[in-house]
A = this chain, B = another copy of it.
Amino acid sequence: AQMALERDYEGQRESVTRMRALMQTMQEAALFVNVTTGRIVEANPAAGRLLQTNPDELPGTALKRLLRHGSEPVDVDQLVEAARDGRAAPATLSSNNCATPLRLRPMSFRAAGQRVLLCLLTRHEQPDETPPGSDAHM
């Protein structure tokens, strides 16, 4: 049992390292949001570039302060519903008066007893590879 636990622990440590490499290198902006608090818990450098913020300063920030949906701040609960329906959502940067159009693909899951929302953000004019209806759910 002890060896199984250690193998499990090692395997998890591997995931932590792979996750860090992936978040650092991927081009898509990725934000993990605690649904209960509505605040970002993890963000990658691509998200920092898109949101024009130091990515290390994003954790703790409320998502609704950064993004708008139409004329209103984004609503995290609505994004969780959109994730369940497999819908992407248009969004714009709150900070940008020119309203840079973004596309937000949401995915909702539970981790460590908490509901988490993953937001993948791209600029709206970028071509989208994902065929319609193929957004994955956990």
The interface of chain A, by Cβ under 8 A from chain B, is 9-28, 30, 32, 42, 45-46, 49, 105, 107, 109-112, 116, 118, 120, 122-123, 126-131, 134-136, 138
B25 touching A27 by the CB < 8 A rule?
no
B12 touching A9 by the CB < 8 A rule?
yes
Q: What number of copies of this chain does the assembly contain? A: 2
A113 to B, closest residue via Cβ: B10
Contacts of A129 in B (CB 8 A): 27, 46, 49, 123, 126
Contacts of A22 in B (CB 8 A): 19, 22-23, 30, 118
Complex Cα spacing A110 to B15, Å:
12
A105 to B, closest residue via Cβ: B25
A138-B21 CB under 8 A given contacts A12-B9, A27-B130: yes
CB proximity of A8 to chain B, nearest CB, Å = 8
